[in-house]
Amino acid sequence: MPKVLRNDEGQPLRNAMKRQQLTLDELSEKTKAVDPEGRGVSPATIARLTGRGSTARERTELRTAWLITEALDDRMHALFSRMPSHSTATVERSSSDADEE
What residue ranges define each of the domains in the chain, with the CATH number in brackets? 3-85 (1.10.260)
Tens digit of pLDDT for each residue in 36-66? 999 999 999 999 999 999 999 999 999 999 9
CA distance 92 to 15: 41
Half-sphere exposure of 55 (CA within 13 A, CB side): 7
Tell whether the torsion through CA atoms of 49, 50, 54 and 59 is positive or negative. Answer: positive
Tens digit of pLDDT for each residue in 1-32? 789 999 999 999 999 999 999 999 999 999 99
